[in-house]
Structures are given as structure tokens and as C-alpha cells.
């Protein structure tokens, strides 16, 4: 098959701003669409002078996990054809280059207009706006250079240290309205990183959850290290860190059905508020119920409401608190045919994974309340 070029279509306004690798990939797709009637089922040879495409579209290679939305869409389109992707130097593709330089009429309307970056424009109170990202990217010396390379092509050989994280991802980077993207993640300029970290840390979610949330939407070099350092400097997070276990954890028998064994405990008081915590050991379903008193009657009333909704459990686990060892509570368990198991108080490790969820809830409440006190 002849080398691919932009034969009879003109670039839209949005396509003119594509990165170089995007334009080269779009040329392959456009050529295949042009000759669809001649090449569909039949083996074809696609020739390109852009070598990075061999790592993205070669049919004998797995599609990279991190890829821009348009590149992924084109990879899926090409997968319907039987083809071999071949690289040939640009000087050997003079006829295709000449065709790509032919004058065209006014560009057609964009058939697939680009939407907001990760829908940032639609958030009610975003930590940063797309306008901010573009403005600060244009002022950052490193990002300005990277954006230029994304549009015009990357230099050969080594680059300074500050550019290496970007060059190692060069086939996965794209540009949109002055903003740099890694796959579908926004590259946050240095001047906005602290503002983003503050928003991610709202509610004191901890290192693991902060990283997971950040990786869903954004990236910058050494982002994980920045998150770890941020949490290490947070006093509420450090004061609420769980202590090292004093004894080996004694695991409970694995439950085979939801709501068959429940673990209950109290958390608080926090600012005069106490919480009854109920955890299903099978599904890890968590119920956090505000209560005014820690009495057997209050526990029974709230458990009865849960049992009406979810059904009766086979076993209920608690500590030896007075609320759970009273005659009133024992009668409630016996009447409903529930086996009541008690564990030693102040030793959550004896209760296994479900009790660790109780401790996690307590810590989360403590961090939130402590953080509110210090704001």
C-alpha cells in the first residue's frame, strides 16, 4: 500500500493544535479510512516516517496502558484491520510529503470537539481551574519547553535532569489548549501544586488514599514524594497514626455470608458526640450511628433498627463494656437467637480485621475533628 498522507481532508482547527505524534497517527487513520473499500480484511502495509508510532500502533505489541483518549480511539479503529506498520525515513517518502503540503480550503468544523480537561470546568469549587493550569504552564520554563517539544518533536540524545521524567513519557504526553496531559491526567504546574495538595488532604485521608485520588486526575514529577512529605508534616495525621500492634493479630474465622457476624464498638466522645460503630465482617459494610448515651437500651434500640433493615446476624462481637454485658443486652441476644462473643477491652488486635475497621473509623473521626479545631 502507498505511504499514508492527508490525501483529501483538511485539518480542523483543533487538529492543527495536536502534538506531532497525534498528527502522525491521525494521518495513518485518515489514509486507512480513505482506502477502506480496498483494504478491509485484506493485509495491508502502513508506512510512516514517525518511528514512535511503531511502539503504539504495531499490531504485534500490546497497547500502552497510559494513552491519550484520541490515540486510544485510533488504536481501537486500526485493530479492525490486518496490517503491518513499517518505518521509513522521511526523505524516502517525498511523494507523501508533497501531498501533505498541498493547499486546502478553509478547515472543516471539528468533528469531535475537545471538552474540558478532566471536566475541571464543571466542578462547583475546583482547587484549580483549567485557565489557571494553562496560565501557570505558560509561565513555567520547564513546561513551556516540554509543550514545545510535544508540538514540534523531541530532541535526540540526553536532556537535562529536569526534563527526564517528561521525555520518558514522551509517547504518552499530549497538549490541549495550552495544558500538558499525561494520558488523561493533567500535569500540574509547580506554582499550583501546593493548592492541589491542600485540596487532596481535606479530611486527612492519609497517604494511600491521597495518592490514589491524585493518580486518577493529575501528575507531576515526584508527586508521590510530595504527598508523603505533606502527610508527614500534618500534625493531626501523625497524632492519630495507629500504634504498632503489641501482640500478633488473632484472625477470626472467615464468614461466608454477609451480615452473619457483626462487630460493634463505640467511638468518642468527640465534641460531645459519641458514635455506635457496627461492622459486617464479610462485606466490611460500616454503620456509624450518632448516639447521646452509651447504655444497653440505646444499643438495643439502634441494633433493632439495623436488624429490621438487614436481618438478624448469627454472631455479634463486642468488648466487655457494661453496655454489652448487662442482663438487658443478654436477654436481647437470647430472644433473637444471636450468639454473643466478647473480647478483652482495649485490645482491638484480638478482634482481627473487622476491629481494625472500627479503629480506622475512630482515627478518621479524630483527624477530622482535630483538624477543625486547628483551622
The answer on 66 and 155 residing in a single domain is: no
Sorted by sequence, the CB contacts under 8 Å of residue 245 that are 6+ apart come out as 349
Sorted by sequence, the CB contacts under 8 Å of residue 279 that are 6+ apart come out as 262, 263, 264, 285, 286, 287, 354, 355, 357, 358
pLDDT of residue 95: 65
pLDDT of residue 1: 44
Choose the most confident range, by mean pLDDT, from 97-101, 146-150, 233-237, 250-254: 146-150
| pTM of the entire predicted model | 0.47
The answer on 201 and 141 residing in a single domain is: yes
Domain with 332 in it: 261-373
Domain assignment present for residue 248? The answer is: no
Structural domain ending residue among the three candidates 100, 135, 168: 100
The answer on 325 and 362 residing in a single domain is: yes
pLDDT of residue 337: 93
Question: What mean pLDDT do residues 106-121 have?
Answer: 49
pLDDT of residue 125: 60
Q: Which residue has the higher pLDDT, 89 or 279?
A: 279
* Nearest partner of 53 among 92, 23, 81, judged by Cα: 23
The answer on 368 and 284 residing in a single domain is: yes
Domain assignment present for residue 154? The answer is: yes
The answer on pLDDT for 260 being more than 80 is yes
Mean confidence (pLDDT) of the chain: 78
The answer on pLDDT for 97 being more than 50 is yes
pLDDT of residue 166: 92
pLDDT band at 53 (very low <50, low <70, confident <90, very high): confident
The answer on pLDDT for 220 being more than 60 is yes
Domain assignment present for residue 193? The answer is: yes
Q: Which of 110-124, 303-317, 325-339, 344-358 has the lowest mean pLDDT?
A: 110-124
How would you class 191 by CB atoms within 10 Å of its CB: exposed for 0-12, middle for 13-18, buried for 19 or more?
Answer: middle
Sorted by sequence, the CB contacts under 8 Å of residue 21 that are 6+ apart come out as 50, 52, 53, 56, 71, 171
Domain assignment present for residue 247? The answer is: no
pLDDT band at 188 (very low <50, low <70, confident <90, very high): very high
pLDDT band at 357 (very low <50, low <70, confident <90, very high): low
- 8-16: which pairs have CB atoms within 8 A and are 24 or more residues apart? 8/34, 9/34, 9/108, 10/104, 10/105, 10/106, 10/107, 10/108, 11/104, 11/107, 12/107, 12/108, 12/109, 12/110, 12/111, 13/107, 13/110, 14/110, 14/112, 14/113, 14/114, 15/107, 15/110, 16/107
Domain assignment present for residue 84? The answer is: yes
For residue 162, give the CATH number of its domain.
1.10.340.70
Sorted by sequence, the CB contacts under 8 Å of residue 101 that are 6+ apart come out as none
Choose the most confident range, by mean pLDDT, from 63-67, 250-254, 273-277: 273-277
pLDDT band at 47 (very low <50, low <70, confident <90, very high): confident
Domain assignment present for residue 137? The answer is: yes
The answer on 363 and 319 residing in a single domain is: yes
Domain assignment present for residue 253? The answer is: no
pLDDT of residue 129: 80
How many other β-carbons are positioned within 10 Å of the β-carbon of residue 203?
11
Question: What mean pLDDT do residues 218-233 have?
Answer: 90
The answer on 272 and 208 residing in a single domain is: no
Structural domain ending residue among the three candidates 100, 133, 150: 100
pLDDT of residue 86: 86
pLDDT of residue 144: 94
pLDDT of residue 239: 64
* Nearest partner of 291 among 302, 279, 282, judged by Cα: 302
Total structural domains within the chain: 3
Question: How large a percentage of the chain has pLDDT more than 90?
Answer: 21
The answer on 188 and 157 residing in a single domain is: yes
pLDDT band at 327 (very low <50, low <70, confident <90, very high): very high
Domain assignment present for residue 196? The answer is: yes
Query: In terms of DSSP H, where are the helices of 186-233?
Result: 190-200, 207-217, 223-232
Q: Which residue has the higher pLDDT, 96 or 108?
A: 96
The answer on pLDDT for 338 being more than 90 is yes
The answer on 92 and 51 residing in a single domain is: yes
Q: Which of 109-123, 164-178, 274-288 has the lowest mean pLDDT?
A: 109-123
pLDDT of residue 130: 81
Beta-bridge mates of residue 295: none
Choose the most confident range, by mean pLDDT, from 72-76, 218-222, 357-361: 218-222
Amino acid at each position: 500500500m502507498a505511504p499514508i498522507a492527508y490525501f483529501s481532508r483538511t485539518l480542523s482547527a483543533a487538529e492543527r493544535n495536536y502534538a506531532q505524534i497525534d498528527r502522525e497517527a491521525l494521518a495513518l487513520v485518515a489514509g486507512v479510512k480513505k482506502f477502506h473499500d480496498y483494504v478491509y480484511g485484506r493485509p495491508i502495509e502502513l508506512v510512516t516516517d514517525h518511528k514512535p508510532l511503531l511502539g503504539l500502533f504495531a499490531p504485534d505489541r500490546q497497547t500502552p496502558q497510559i494513552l491519550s483518549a484520541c490515540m486510544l480511539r485510533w488504536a481501537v479503529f486500526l485493530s479492525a484491520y490486518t496490517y503491518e506498520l513499517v518505518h521509513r525515513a522521511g526523505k524516502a517518502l517525498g511523494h507523501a510529503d508533497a501531498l501533505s503540503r498541498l493547499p486546502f480550503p478553509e478547515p472543516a468544523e471539528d468533528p469531535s470537539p475537545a471538552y474540558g480537561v478532566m471536566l475541571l470546568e464543571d466542578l462547583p469549587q475546583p482547587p484549580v481551574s483549567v485557565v489557571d493550569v494553562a496560565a501557570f504552564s505558560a509561565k513555567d520554563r520547564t513546561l513551556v519547553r516540554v509543550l514545545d517539544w510535544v508540538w514540534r518533536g523531541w530532541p535526540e540524545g540526553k536532556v537535562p535532569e529536569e526534563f527526564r521524567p517528561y521525555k520518558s513519557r514522551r509517547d504518552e504526553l499530549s497538549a490541549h489548549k495550552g495544558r500538558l496531559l499525561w494520558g488523561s491526567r493533567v500535569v500540574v504546574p509547580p506554582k499550583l501544586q501546593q493548592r492541589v495538595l491542600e485540596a487532596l488532604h481535606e479530611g486527612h485521608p492519609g497517604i494511600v488514599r491521597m495518592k490514589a485520588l491524585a493518580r486518577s486526575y493529575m501528575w507531576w514529577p515526584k508527586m508521590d514524594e510530595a504527598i508523603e512529605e505533606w502527610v508527614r508534616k500534618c500534625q493531626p495525621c501523625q497524632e492519630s497514626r495507629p500504634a504498632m500492634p503489641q501482640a500478633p493479630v488473632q484472625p477470626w474465622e472467615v464468614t461466608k455470608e454477609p451480615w452473619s457476624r457483626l462487630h460493634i464498638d463505640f467511638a468518642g466522645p468527640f465534641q460531645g458526640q459519641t458514635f455506635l460503630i457496627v461492622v459486617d465482617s464479610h462485606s466490611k459494610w460500616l454503620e456509624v450511628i450518632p448516639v447521646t448515651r452509651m447504655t444497653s437500651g440505646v444499643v438495643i434500640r439502634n441494633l433493632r433498627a439495623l436488624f429490621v433493615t438487614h436481618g438478624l446476624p448469627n454472631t455479634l462481637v463486642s468488648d466487655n463494656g457494661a453496655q454489652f454485658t448487662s442482663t438487658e443486652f443478654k436477654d436481647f441476644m437470647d430472644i433473637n437467637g444471636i450468639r454473643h462473643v466478647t473480647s478483652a477491652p482495649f485490645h482491638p488486635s484480638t478482634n482481627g480485621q473487622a476491629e481494625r475497621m472500627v479503629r480506622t473509623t475512630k482515627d478518621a473521626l479524630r483527624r477530622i475533628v482535630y483538624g477543625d479545631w486547628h483551622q
